[in-house]
Amino acid sequence: MRIGFIVPSWHYFKDPFKLQPYWELYYSSILKKKLGEKTDIKIIDLRGKSKKNEKFNEIINELDEKDFYLYWIMKSGDANEIYSIVDLLKKKFPRSKHIAGGTHVDMLQDECKKVFDSIIVGPGENSFLNAIQNGSEKKFLESYSKVDFADTPYPKRDWLPYNSVISKNMFKQYGDYNATMVYFSRGCFYRCAYCVYNVPNKLQAKSPKLIEDEINYLKTNYDVQAILLKDEIALNPNKKIFFPQMEAIGNSNILWRGQTTSIGTYEQLKLAKETGCLELSVGIETVDDNVMKMIDKTWQSEKIINQFIENAKKVGIKIKICLILGLPGEPKNIVDKTINFIEKQKPDYVSLSGFCPMPGSPIYQNPDKYDIEFIDKNWDKHAHLLFRFSNNESVGLPFRYKKQTHWGNSFSREEIILNIQHIQRWLSSKSMVY
């Protein structure tokens, strides 16, 4: 049996090799274990080979025939490209089957059924194998609650060249480290109105033993010195999970950074520092209280944010705050409010994004509630990393507000772009962007 797991170009990243295709590697590792050595599994890595490249079709046409092509679509921004890959490969290899899962598929099942031979809804640990063995079915559904993420195999990286696993840029603000990306948990228990990364809507955590095993594997085979925890909440609020996880990371003698929420405690931050944490990203999202309410993030306040940043500074962890411009309810002075907030809180770094109504999110599902009159369904335009590295971008902000909203006059798309550009340039002048 020949299986190709396709990684799209990630055209919205300036450096698509800064992150790794973790879930493609993860599910390939599980399939290899279940199907045995006689099954030929290849990771077809198209990072950096955007369909904007005039040779993109030529690259796809040079691919070898597989019995099954698999896809894991986390971001809707990858969807059109993957759809076009499927179309090209179906014409070239009509007997091959195409199977896809991931957040985009979960949220847009009817659309994806028209593209793929089978879709995976929910986790893929068992469903990919079921789809391969029972190809006549269109949909394979499984609940995350029935899949124990704690003891599933960590992803082997052998399918990729060394330089595609390791990034020197991931920790460049801290030194010249061999770094790579990991997930020690998946999901999030919050229900923020702009987000779909709460799939599952709870935290499923890896066992401490597997954490140590994966880190030691990366150190032994790839000389990894630092890891990026891509978990939605790196500081698990469940102490019974948090302390063993931190002990496992500490035992591994590795540097790390990750993302978490502003409700992390001083005790958690102190222990994180002791285990090698250099930096934490925090999803603040907005500095306006009314916007915070509209995006269902009322559990967070300026007092909580201030305390978190103070505690992080006390223990010596750098803080990067993540902000989104263009959210519903923004006041006309959002630029000044944002800059004043940053000057007051003094984070070390800031990651500024443009709002994108992600398919499946509460805002996408109910645009009238948020006075959105148009959402572009061209998934190529769905991106959020706007004007961080360039002043000329055509993607992002794929929506339009009504001129008159229940919070007052709205910003036009052009005005949101100017707001983002203004703050991005100010952040660059302060060396707060990397």
- pLDDT (mean) for 37-47: 94
296, two tokens: 């269902």
Q: What is the pLDDT at residue 229?
A: 97
The residue range of the domain holding 246 is 166-429
Q: Are 195 and 148 in contact (CB under 8 A)?
A: no
Asked if pLDDT for residue 347 goes beyond 70, the answer is yes
Asked if pLDDT for residue 66 goes beyond 80, the answer is yes
Asked if pLDDT for residue 384 goes beyond 90, the answer is no
φ and ψ at 276, to 5 degrees? Answer: 110, 10
Closest CA to 72 of 120, 30, 35: 120
Q: Are residues 171 and 312 in the same domain?
A: yes
Is 152 inside a domain boundary? Answer: no
- pLDDT (mean) for 133-151: 90
Q: What is the pLDDT at residue 389?
A: 65
Out of 146, 177, 200, pick the residue that ends a domain: 146
Asked if pLDDT for residue 344 goes beyond 80, the answer is yes
Q: Are residues 138 and 238 in the same domain?
A: no
Whichever domain contains 379, its CATH number is 3.20.20.70
Tens of pLDDT, residue by residue over 234-274, are 999 999 999 999 999 999 999 999 999 999 999 999 999 99
Q: Are residues 238 and 366 in the same domain?
A: yes
DSSP annotation of 403 reads: S
Residue 432 confidence class, pLDDT cut points 50, 70, 90 = very high
Asked if pLDDT for residue 135 goes beyond 80, the answer is no
The chain-wide mean pLDDT, for the chain, equals 94
What is the number of structural domains in the chain? 2
- pLDDT (mean) for 104-128: 97
Tens of pLDDT, residue by residue over 282-341, are 999 999 999 999 999 999 999 999 999 999 999 999 999 999 999 999 999 999 999 999
100, two tokens: 């896809």
The helix or strand, by DSSP H or E, that contains position 4, with its residue range, turns out to be strand 2-7
- pLDDT (mean) for 89-106: 97
Whichever domain contains 109, its CATH number is 3.40.50.280
Q: Which residue has the tokens 């068992």?
A: 126
Residue 14 confidence class, pLDDT cut points 50, 70, 90 = confident
Tens of pLDDT, residue by residue over 154-168, are 999 999 999 999 999
180, 186, 342, 373 from 148: Cα distances, Å = 24, 11, 40, 41
What pTM value is reported for the model?
Answer: 0.94
Q: Are 408 and 389 in contact (CB under 8 A)?
A: no
Distance CA 181, CA 255 (A): 12
Q: Are residues 88 and 213 in the same domain?
A: no
Is 106 inside a domain boundary? Answer: yes
- pLDDT (mean) for 350-369: 95
Is 160 inside a domain boundary? Answer: no
160, two tokens: 């990729």
